Every structure is written in C-alpha cells, then in structure tokens.
Structure 1
Amino acid sequence: MVIVRCLIVVAASLSWPLHQLDSKADYSLFIKNDGTYLTILFIYVDAILITGNNIESIKALKQFLYTRFLIKDLGDLKFFLGIEIARSKKGIYISQRKYDLEIIKDSGYLGAKPVEFPMEECKLSDKGELLKNPCAYQRLDGRLIYLTITKPDITYSVHILSRFMHEPRQPHMATALRVVHYLKSASGQGLLLHSNNPLHLKAFCDSDWAGCPITRRSTTRYCVFLGNSLISWRTKRQKTVSLSSVEAEYIAMTDPITLFCDNQDALHIAKNHVFHERTRHIEMDCHFIRDKILQGEVVTRYVISSQQLVDVFTKALGKEKFKQLICKLGVIDIHSPT
C-alpha cells in the first residue's frame, strides 16, 4: 500500500527516465515512460488504478484495455480496498473512515467515550491472565494493522499489540480496546498528500534503546516524506540486541536520502572513515549507510530530540506531544467541524 500512496503523490508531476517496465517493489505495478509522459498502472485482483501526467496517454491505455478485456471505467478514484480518496485544491486526502467505523461498531464501542491518544505511557509485558478467547484479540489486532495504511498515529500501538498475538492476555486486550476508544475520536483522520509538492525525499529515523522489556531488543522507526507528504513509515524491532543507544540509532539509520537523526554519536560513526573497534560487532550490512554517504546518495542531518517526528512510532506519548507530532506528519480530519 506504500506503492499506492507514492503513486497518488507523483501522479500529476513526475517524469522519471524509465522504460516500460514492471516495478521491482511490487510486481502488480507497471510503469511506462516515453520520454515526456509517464503512465502508471496498478492491478489488484480485478481492480485497476491508472494514473499519469498526460491525459491522452491515459486515454490511449484505457482504449487498449477496452479492446482486449471487458472492463468498466468508474471515473476518478474515490474508494479502493477500503481506502477513501477525496480531492481539493490543496491535494489528495486518503483515509479509511468507513473501515474505521466498522471496527468501532463490531467492537460494540459506538456509544463509548473517546480518548485523545491511543496508548498510555506504559510498557506491556507477558504478565497477566491469558484470554479465554484469543481469536477476538487476534482479529481486532489484524484489523488495526490494516488501518495503519492511512493512520500512522496508531502504528506504534498496533506494533506493540502485535507482539502478543500468540498468547494475548487481559492487559493486552484492554490496550487494544483503548485504541478503539481513540478511533472514536479520530475516525475521520487520514493523510493529506499535497498538490504543490517539491519532489525531494527526506527521512527521519530513531530508535528506543532496549525498549522491549521481554527481549531487550531496540525498536527502529522511520518515516519518509516526498516533499511535505508522508509516503512511508515503519516501526520494527531490531534483529540484534544493541549494547548502547548509539548502536541502536546507527542501525536505525540504514534507510535513505536526507536522513534526520537525533543522536550525534551515530551520525559521527556513519560519517567517519575509520572503523571503530567498539562498532566491530554491529552487523556489517548496517555499515552500508557510510558508503552511501561517501557516494553522496545520502545526506545526514542532526535534528533535536524535541523535533524528532518519529517519536510517535516508537513510544507512547502524552496527549500534547502526540497531537503535535501527528499534525507535523500531515494527519488531518476533513470531517471535523471548522
């Protein structure tokens, strides 16, 4: 679904020097570039998305498909795989409001009191009474995972809840239901993909050192912007146990372009040509970031911790900090009263 977000963002303005090809990132994505015009086709089962920067090229592709398949043109994209799309002069807005409301209804929380942030500042562990019906927890968590396609604000909470899918306990279910309470106040929230967008990639990365109370592994998180539009994000536990916060942050830096990090030591290790003895045990594939910097493909920048956008993907935050960060990520609610 990251491909779909990128596809929508670049639709009207991008011209890449590519030949006709299928995407290595997604084999259902096909791109044609004839020098000036770019046409993109995305297929999912029996649904097709077509976009590009020239209306005549799009019409020609549609006509080609008409001659070979029985298809129906539904016009401008409004709804796709549970994702709702709205347009304005400001850009394209994507959300999952209908799917969101279905989760609230099926959980029996339509009349529940909403909360303003999804998770309390606490760490879940493997303690507590096992659920008698784990399937209810697993189904809810699975639905919440799909909701993170357009809701980066619940990504961290869902990541934590997913760690306990095999043996969910009462505290885990209580936390999952709090997320549903939060959805009650944020059902219309989604992402705005700006129409006047500079086509420049920038990324923020961070980690919480030894944040998992069970494995003591750190959690990497990153988010990537195309101009001012958030197009990709992830929260993931690292494969190895880092012995310091510097190592954890350095491992988190193995993602691209203009890279913002709030750890000065990690930035120093990435730029320094000398291989430090204390970093010898870090997996060698993590050191490719240094080569990318030397090649000029990645530029690192320091960002103060208070301005680190990816905090929302790695830790439970209080209401004020949480609202501040999701606003900077481009999360808005077009259904809220003005």
Structure 2
Amino acid sequence: MKKFGYQHANIDRTLFIKHRAGKVTLLIIYIDDMIVTGDDTIEIERLQKRLASEFEMKDLGSLEYFLGVEVTRSKHGLFLSQSKYVMDLLADTGMLDCKPADTPIVENHKLGVYVDKVPTNRERYQRLVGRLVYLSLTRPDIAYAVSVASQFMPSPSEDHMATVMRILSYLKSAPRRGLLFKKNGHLDLEGYTHADYAGNIIDRHSTLGYFTFIGSNLVMWRSKKQNIVSRSSAESKYRGIAQGFCEILWLRWLLAEIGFKPNAVIKLHCDNQSAFEIANNPVQHDRTKHVEVDRHFIKEKLKHKLISIPFVPSLE
C-alpha cells in the first residue's frame, strides 16, 4: 500500500489513506477481507487493479456483507445489522421458539459471585458471551447487559447463564434491529456520558456508559465497569467524562486524518451537576484531589475550546 502512495493512519493501523486532487480513497483491512471506499473513483479502480496484480482477489462489488455485518442501502440511508448472525445464534442455542423478553436484563439485578451458587458450563458460557460481544457491533441496546455478563467469565453460575439466556430471548423480540446512518448535512461530533455510582453489589465499582454521534449518527458506544471505587457520584461521573473525552478525541483525530476535521466545538453532555461544576471551576480544592489527573486533562481540553460540557438535567 505504501508503494502505491498510501499512508498508514496513525489512529488505526488497519486503515490506509490516500489524498489526491482534493479527493480521498480509503482501504481498511481485516486479515484477508477488505473494504475500499472514498470519493475518488479513478483511484479506487486503479487500486483494485494494482491489488489484483499482487494478490489473488475477488471483487464482490458494492458492500453488502462484511464479517457478519449486513449492509442495506435505501433512500433513508445506510442500514447496518446482523440479523442472520442473530438467527444463527438463536438456532444454535435452541432459542428460536423461546418467549421474547422485553428487556435484555432484569432491572436492578443483583448479579454477583456467591459461594452457594450452582456453577454452569464455563466453556459454553464463555462462547455465548463472546458471540454476544461481537453482536454488540450493531446492537448498542444489549451493550450494558453483555458488559455485565462478561464480568463472570472465569466462574459463571446458573444465574449468570440465565442472564445470557434472557439476552437471547430479548434478541428474539427484535432480530433485525440495527443502525441507520443518514446524511444530515454535517459531521459534528457530540457525545453523552453517564455513570452508575457504586452499582456493583460485590465490589461497589461504578459502571460508566457513553455514546458518540458523528453527523447525528450513532457510531460509538460502551458500557464498562470502572477500575477503582469512586467515593461519590460526582467522582464516578467525572471519571466517565474523562473516558468519554478520550473516545471522542480519538474520533476527532480519525476524521482529521481522513480529511474531515470538525470545525465546531465538540459537546460532551453530562447529567451530574457536581461533575459539571468541577469541570468548569478553575479553582483546585480538596474535593478534587482524588481526580486530579482527570481534572487537569479535562481542564486542558476546555481551555483550548476543543470540547464543551453542556449540562443535561435528568428527568424522572
């Protein structure tokens, strides 16, 4: 690729970029599968011929299926789903005729590791959770439930397996759900962040969640248990803001490398008044010593007007 004039993307080493005459061509590769896209049709055709001269290749035409992800085009936009993957998963687990569940996990669940719990088949549990993790590529609605289930991979119990089965039952209710990408006339970056303070009943770690939009299209999301115990809801959500900053900056750098550097200030919404006030308060005090590194990181980005933190009130 370098011989053909392409550059490795600094932010993603599987991505190759070439700018020519104000246009861009992109190639992203996963082992022996690749996607070629861009607005330089001449360069795309030239690249395909060059690659065919170097490797035994097959051109599958317009993108319709890639690594289990189905791509559908319509007047509404580009729709990504994994419906076949879902149906295969339900068939393999004998859940095709199960009763659909309304939610992927029980509200206010008390899942943990208890000495009196009945163990389940660990290999099967790990295999199922792994397949659900991959399904999360197009299903942000199961991200939290899968994150919870993945915490018990080393020694799962029957209760944990029941949680996985509930996720499968939920998938039965909407197997064709996915992500729709529309042209909205802009590429503004915007994110939302939240944290569940001390939500884990075993170690009292908080769980952070964030999701990011490019041009009003959802492109990134995550639910993850924090590594340390937070001493207040403000601290847990403040650390969530710092993590959200890192992810949204990664996207900004990626867009800039491609040639679409966002012009507007990036908004990362937060619903905690204390965390909002700490971020916008230039004075250091005792209440923020335990999050000092995160605070300086956030303060620097706010100072350079790279990102802003609008407050979003929580509604019951």
State the TM-score, normalizing by the size of structure 1: 0.82
- Aligned match of 1:246: 234
Higher mean C-alpha deviation, range 280-289 or range 148-157: 280-289
- Are 1:222 and 2:210 an aligned pair? yes
Describe the shift of the 1:60–1:227 C-alpha distance in structure 2 as closer, same or farther (beyond 3 A).
same
Percent identity, please. 42
4+ aligned runs moved over 6 Å, structure 1: none
Contact 1:37 1:57 in 2 (8 A): no
Write the distance in 1 (CA, Å) between the matches of 2:285 and 2:131. Answer: 45
Write the distance in 1 (CA, Å) between the matches of 2:267 and 2:89. Answer: 37
- Aligned match of 1:210: 198
Write the distance in 1 (CA, Å) between the matches of 2:309 and 2:131. Answer: 36
Aligned-pair Cα RMSD in Å: 1.6
Cα offset, 1:181, TM superposition: 0.5
Contact 1:124 1:172 in 2 (8 A): yes
Contact 2:71 2:79 in 1 (8 A): yes
Write the distance in 2 (CA, Å) between the matches of 1:140 and 1:149. Answer: 15
| 1:267-308, Cα deviation, whole Å (9 max, x unpaired) | 11111111121110125145301110010110111112239x
- Aligned match of 1:36: 22
- Aligned match of 1:183: 171
Describe the shift of the 1:34–1:69 C-alpha distance in structure 2 as closer, same or farther (beyond 3 A).
same
- Aligned match of 1:277: 286
Cα offset, 1:224, TM superposition: 0.5
Write the distance in 1 (CA, Å) between the matches of 2:120 and 2:36. Answer: 47
Amino acid at match of 1:68: E
Contact 2:288 2:295 in 1 (8 A): no
Describe the shift of the 1:272–1:32 C-alpha distance in structure 2 as closer, same or farther (beyond 3 A).
same
Write the distance in 2 (CA, Å) between the matches of 1:249 and 1:285. Answer: 11
Higher mean C-alpha deviation, range 151-160 or range 41-50: 41-50
Write the distance in 2 (CA, Å) between the matches of 1:42 and 1:253. Answer: 30
Write the distance in 2 (CA, Å) between the matches of 1:94 and 1:215. Answer: 37
Given candidates 22, 26, 31, the residue that maps to 1:45 is 31
State the TM-score, normalizing by the size of structure 2: 0.87
* Larger relative contact order, structure 1 or 2 (CA cutoff 8 Å, min sep 6): 1
Amino acid at match of 2:299: R
Cα offset, 1:29, TM superposition: 0.8
Cα offset, 1:228, TM superposition: 1.5
| 1:184-206, Cα deviation, whole Å (9 max, x unpaired) | 01110000011334200000001
- Aligned match of 2:132: 144
Residue 33 of structure 1: SS of its match in structure 2? strand
Cα offset, 1:20, TM superposition: 4.4
- Aligned match of 1:155: 143
Cα offset, 1:231, TM superposition: 0.5
Write the distance in 2 (CA, Å) between the matches of 1:115 and 1:41. Answer: 40
Flag structure 1 segments of 5+ consecutive residues without an equivalent.
1-18, 308-338
- Are 1:306 and 2:300 an aligned pair? no
Write the distance in 2 (CA, Å) between the matches of 1:41 and 1:114. Answer: 40
Cα offset, 1:139, TM superposition: 1.1
May I ask how many residue pairs the two structures share in their alignment?
289
Given candidates 90, 108, 111, the residue that maps to 1:124 is 111
Flag structure 2 segments of 5+ consecutive residues without an equivalent.
249-265
**1:1-338 equivalences in 2 (<5 Å):** 20-121=6-107, 122-127=109-114, 129-254=117-242, 255=245, 256=248, 257-282=266-291, 284-306=293-315
